[in-house]
Amino acid sequence: MEQERGRQRIPISESHRNASQSQAVAESSAIAMETGGPSLDPSGLEVTSNIPSASPSPSPSPSQSQSQSPLSLSPTRGYLARPSYDSRRCSSAVSIMQIDEIISDDRINMETYGVIENREGFFDALFLKPGPVNPEDIAERSKATLPKEFEKSHPLSAKHFLPRQFHEIKSVACKVATTRAGIKLLKSFLGFFIAYNLCLVQPVHNWLGRYDYIMAVSAILNHPGRSFGSQVDGAVATIVGTAAGLAWGALGLLLSTSTHDAGSGYGGILALFSALFFLGIAYIRSFFIRLYQTVLCAGIAVIFTTLAETSSLDIRWSKFWSYAIPWLLGQAIAMTVNCLVFPDAGNRHLAVALDKSFKTIEESLVIPRPRDTRLRRRLAKTFMDMSLAYRDMRIEITITRFRPMDLRELRNVVQGVVRAILSMDTDTDLFEDWTNPVEITIADDAGSEASFEDSRRKVAQVLVDPTEEVISCMSEGIRRCHAVLMDLTGWRKHFGPPADTSSDIASVQLRMETALEAFDTAEMLLLRSEDRPETYAEHGQAVELFVFARHVRETAATIVNLMAKVHDMSTHSNRKRVNLPTYPPEKAMYRTNAQVRHDRGGITAGMYRATFAEIGKLIKLTSTSEKRQPRENYEAVTEPDDSKMTEPSITGQPASDQDKLGYRIWIILRRLQGFESRYALKVAILTTLLALPGWLRSESAWWNRYEAWWAVCMGWIMIHPRIGGNIQDFFTRASAALLGAAWSGAAHAAGGGNPYVLAVFTTIYMVPMMYRFTQSTHPRSGLVGCLSFTVISLSLRSHSEDSSITLLGVHKGIVFFVGTIAPILINWILWPFIARHELRHALSSMIIFMSIMYRNVVADYVYFDKGKDPTPEDIRQSEMLESRMREGFVRIRQLLVMTRHEIRLRAPFDPIPYSCLAASCERFFEYLIAVRQSALFYNPDYIRDNPVAAEKLLFYRRDAVAAILGNLYILAGALKSQRKVPRYLPSAAAARKKLLHKSEEVAREIAESTEFQELERQKTWSDIYSYSYNESLTGCVAQLEELEQFTKLIVGEKTFESSKHTQYDEEEDADESPERL
């Protein structure tokens, strides 16, 4: 039975059996247990149950079972046997019919006249004339592929600006008044307002000194509108960063005033110290996201130390006191408010993620339904939601009923459920009315007529009731698991489900078990029926019903696991516990909590980079695990003669031990070329240019009078490692800075500096601005408005009597204006972030990833060597990669939305080709998943077993695989380098058609040979999965042609005509593809 290893289908075996179960099910379960347990399941999950077991009823002998019914029940029905050669021939015939829909016979000549390319490293490609692109078809497809944000008015439209702002104001007011957002806003504002009012108290102001507003700034940067664990992390990080900045600044001041010569050049010494410090912390800020708050506060502290009230004669040590004490008080106020006012123990984000995930899963189980692209996208997003919730819980202190390991297992089983649901085609005909029997009469080649019952109708009539009951159990199980988990989080009253939803999981587990037993019995009776067709592979519509039912069965298996896990968590999670951070430190440095991610801004750009970096690491890990083990004996087997030698260093590894130092230096220099180093250079240039007047003796008077060092602080705060800002950000942030200054002047002018009037103006202004900073999608403009008003309104109280408060406010407003717009201008000039360019690079990377994934699937699941069947570890790595790939498509759609916010001078950016290309990539990816899952149950073993057949098909298999890989590489390279796609590419459809024709020919020859004939025809799931397997591979070929068409729409098509026509075609392509800018 070695040939059948990994090709068995074992039904979900649970330890509990009720007394009324059928004898055939008991017998098959017993046999499955005796033969080594379950095999690899397409869902990648083993089904277990914690329900107490009962003794199964005795199993009858096979002869008794066969005599009880004309539908014979074979004891071995739980196994997947190899398909017969006749069934393979029928499957190939159906696959040829499918490929004929893509490429007709009039476009390709299958006759090769015995000429085959059999050289190592070469493949025989066919080049066919590409078909025309139908613009109407593309316009129709774009409606389903564009993200829902494109249904809204354009964000840069002047016509819809005011109506959109009015609508957003109403929605925000409703959200604050009716949801938890109001409580979060209350906490954020209350922490700031307490600190601000303390600054208005004259005794406190006299004690803290001129820079007492640092207390309010501290309460803004680490506001209390977050969970308790995040508040603790922020307090520690900001205090450590402030201490580091003050220490480094003090060291620079000491050196700059240590001697007379140093004092004469103190500005240069401070500039050098600041530049080195900002190079280091900017690199850390871009590389280790976990230290964002630390380095941000360190930069502000060192700017204050080296630029505020500096002199070459002496050091004013009192200013260190006037900065450090207000900062500590601000953190203490924020911590107190966080702990006393509606404290968040840290599980609210988890509750939100669970609620959204289970509601989406429950909605997706409404079957049948047409294919809903947006629902599938929401399902894919649950992968990210669960992963983020799990990581957020493990990187900070939480007080919850969940244990971190329980949450990890819960995340895995929920993702398994989502993965299984995504593999289902919910637009099925299984649940139609099949009560009226219909006979179909056909004529064979000899002209005789034969009538038989519609196999599709028979399959549907047998499977419809068990499948419907299983789906009903799945929906009920999801609802009850949802209720139990929300009860454990303590947020059920806020999020749901309703109180009338039961939390009893045991009863639905028993019901699910009974439904699965009935399903297995119906499925087995149908497969073992004596009047079944010769082979199901030639009945495509019946096979589609079988495959849908099989996917429902696999989804039920994952939900059984989910119910078992939730039931176990509800049993053991009977008390609240304090969970300390347990995330691995080497990974935690690249992660941070949800509120910091929001306040930091640029979530889409940052997460896009992180996601694609993780995909690259997983692919590299998979490629590394596939490498062959080195030989133990390195003696030459044959003489090298004229063989070419390859330098090891070409592969990216040191050629010898002597080269290791040089290789390490090369690695460091290569790393310094990354975006982190470019960002550090931009930060150093920005801060040095803005701080230059402060280090000149002639400019120190006005610099200190207007506190112009805040321009450097704003530049450091606003410059983002990933995204610089578009024209909309430019005007929004500049307006926020000027509005804060103007409102400060109005507050002082209205009350003459009266504290009560200032408090009223503060409340009116800071409530919406604090919401914008802490909860809106534009946090950095909100932060600019908060800091501008806070610093200017509190510093205006210290103006001298002979100065104009209005003029002073204008000058301070200019300081914040310059500091706000300077980072945007720097980012526009040096290595700008352009969403449409990043989108093109992302699509190129995704096509490369899919090519590697296709190569791995073919090598590991389809054409693997004998004895190298895919292991559970291989399946686990494949599922991890698939999860990250799904997340990558989500990031691509987010980048597509970002392109709407960018102004393009040449012509409006057309998102339709990019959207269609991304959708085609995603469909190609889904077909690859279907190939991998089907290959677990079907594999052309007869090719491996028969060396003659394998040799005959080797070159055709090579051409089919190489054509797809070659096309993917060419398209990815064209997108990355922005070069036109060649007009003629190797036809993957023609290569696959040749392979299918040759496979049918080889199968026919083997069937006629007495040496390889099978003794008995076996109708198993392998026969059915062969249809799904071939259909998925054909689907990959169809999507590849769409990838070619949409890529040509983006970058153009390279023609090979005369020079005159070539020039004309290039001009025409340039007009038709304006997105190349």
Domain ranges of the chain: 71-146+834-1077, 180-344+674-829, 348-441+451-575
Specify the 3-state DSSP secondary structure of 1010: coil
Read off the pTM. 0.81
| Nearest alpha carbon to residue 310 among 684, 712, 683, 686 | 712
Report phi then psi at 46, rounded to 5: -95, 140
**Mean pLDDT across 348-374:** 91
pLDDT for position 1037: 87
* pLDDT on residue 914: 92
pLDDT tens figures, 636-672: 333 344 434 444 444 455 555 556 788 888 888 887 8
pLDDT digits (tens, 9 = 90+) for 1039-1067: 898 899 899 989 988 876 544 444 444 44
What's the pLDDT score for residue 908?
81
Whole-number Å distance between alpha carbons of 1038 and 61? 49
Taking 70 as the threshold, does the pLDDT of residue 945 lie above it? no
> What mean pLDDT comes out for the span 970-977?
94
Burial of 80 (0-12, 13-18, 19+ CB in 10 A): buried
**pLDDT > 90? residue 9:** no
| Per-residue pLDDT, 1071 | 38
pLDDT at 357 over 90: yes
When comparing pLDDT for 71 and 260, which is higher?
260
Per the model's pLDDT, the better-predicted residue between 444 and 393 turns out to be: 393
Rounded distance between C-alpha atoms, residue 439 and residue 453, angstroms: 5
Residue 77 has pLDDT above 80, yes or no: no
**pLDDT tens for each residue of 606-619:** 888 888 888 988 88
In contact, 729 and 735? CB cutoff 8 Å:
no
Question: What's the pLDDT score for residue 19?
Answer: 35
**Are 217 and 368 a contacting pair, CB within 8 Å?**
no
Interhelix angle 85-102/1021-1051, nearest 10 degrees: 20
- Output the pLDDT for position 602: 81
**What is residue 865's DSSP assignment?**
P
pLDDT digits 0-9 by tens, 901-943: 888 777 788 888 899 999 999 999 999 998 888 887 765 555 5
Ranges assigned E (strand) in 924-1032? 981-982
Q: What is the DSSP string of 358-393?
A: HHHHHHHT--S----HHHHHHHHHHHHHHHHHHHHH
Instruction: Quote the CA–CA distance of 56 and 64 in Å, as a whole number.
Output: 18
How far is the CA of 421 from the CAs of 362, 380, 550, 563, in angstroms?
Answer: 10, 10, 12, 16
Between the ranges 113-127, 621-635, 718-732, where is the mean pLDDT highest?
A: 718-732
> What does the CA dihedral 928, 929, 934, 940 come to, rounded to 10 degrees?
30
Q: Please state which of the ranges 57-71, 99-113, 141-155, 179-193 shows the lowest mean pLDDT.
A: 57-71
pLDDT tier at 41, thresholds 50, 70, 90: very low
Q: Which long-range contacts (CB under 8 A, 24 or more apart) does 94-100 make?
A: 94/537, 94/538, 94/540, 94/1027, 94/1030, 95/996, 95/1030, 95/1031, 95/1034, 96/993, 96/996, 96/997, 96/1000, 98/1030, 98/1031, 98/1034, 99/989, 99/992, 99/993, 99/996, 99/1034, 99/1037, 100/993
Query: Distance between CA 751 and CA 744 in Å, rounded?
Result: 11
136-176 residue pLDDT tens? 777 677 777 888 888 787 777 777 778 888 888 888 999 99
pLDDT of 507 strictly over 70 = yes
Q: Which residue has the tokens 């791995």?
A: 856
Per-residue pLDDT at 538: 60
| 810-834 confidence digits (pLDDT tens) | 999 999 999 999 999 999 999 988 8
Among 166, 7, 164, residue whose Cα is nearest residue 76:
7
Q: Pairing between strand 439-443 and 398-400? A: unpaired
Q: What is the pLDDT of residues 540-554, one digit of tens each?
A: 677 788 888 888 999
User: Averaging pLDDT over each range in 4-8, 120-124, 221-225, 577-581, which range is the top one?
Assistant: 221-225
Estimate the crossing angle of helix 540-572 against helix 505-527, to 10 degrees: 160
φ, ψ (nearest 5 deg) of residue 837: -70, -40
Residue ranges of E strands in 920-970: none
92 HSE (CA, 13 A, CB side): 21
pLDDT tier at 625 (50, 70, 90 boundaries)?
Answer: low
Nearest to 575 by CA among 402, 816, 805: 402
Task: Please say whether the dihedral angle defined by the alpha carbons of residues 144, 145, 148 and 151, taken in this order, is positive or negative.
Answer: negative
Q: What is the mean pLDDT of residues 495-519?
A: 91
Residue 860, token pair as written in the block? 């590991």
Q: What is the pLDDT of residue 657?
A: 52
With cut-offs at 50, 70 and 90, classify the pLDDT of residue 471. Answer: very high
**425 or 329: which carries more pLDDT confidence?**
329
For residues 875 and 857, give the distance between their C-alpha atoms in angstroms, rounded to a whole number: 10
Contacts of 708 (CB under 8 A, 6+ apart): 693, 694, 702, 815
- Please report the pLDDT score of residue 1022 as a whole number: 58
- What tens digit of pLDDT does each residue of 596-606 get? 999 998 888 88
Determine the Cα–Cα distance for residues 856 and 878; give it in Å rounded to an integer.
Answer: 9
Give the number of other Cβ atoms within 10 Å of residue 59's Cβ: 18
Token look-up 């924020």 returns 334
Residues 6+ apart with CB under 8 A from 812: 706, 707, 710, 741, 791, 792, 795, 796
Using only C-alpha atoms, the chain has a radius of gyration, in whole angstroms, of 34
DSSP state of 36: T
- Beta strands 577-579 and 449-453 are unpaired
pLDDT at 83 over 60: no
Q: Is the pLDDT of residue 282 over 60?
A: yes
Tokens of 1045: 């068409």
- Phi, psi at residue 532, to the nearest 5°? -70, 160
| DSSP H or E segment with residue 859 | none
Which position has the higher pLDDT, 1018 or 265?
A: 265
Share of residues in the chain with pLDDT > 70 (%) = 76
Is it the case that residue 511 has pLDDT exceeding 60?
A: yes
* Position with higher pLDDT, 454 vs 912: 912
Identity of the residue numbered 965 = L
Distance CA 391, CA 794 (A): 40
Q: Give 170 or 537, the one with higher predicted confidence.
A: 170
Cα dist from 751 to 198, 415, 569, 744, 764, whole Å: 18, 59, 60, 11, 15
What is the CB-side half-sphere exposure of residue 443 using CA atoms within 13 A?
4
Say which range, 603-607, 684-688, 708-712, has the weakest mean pLDDT. 603-607
Instruction: Give yes or no for residue 676 having a pLDDT over 70.
Output: yes
CATH domain 348-441+451-575 topology: Methane Monooxygenase Hydroxylase; Chain G, domain 1 (1.20.58)
In the predicted structure, residue 368 carries a pLDDT above the cut 80: yes
**Strand positions, DSSP E, 1003-1072:** 1053-1054
Interior/surface letters 576-602, b for 16+ CB within 10 angstroms, e for the rest = eeebebebeeeebbebbbbbbbbbbbb
Q: Which is higher by pLDDT, 980 or 604? A: 980
Q: Greater confidence, 430 or 185?
A: 185
pLDDT greater at residue 1066 or residue 394:
394
Residue percentage of the chain with pLDDT more than 90: 37
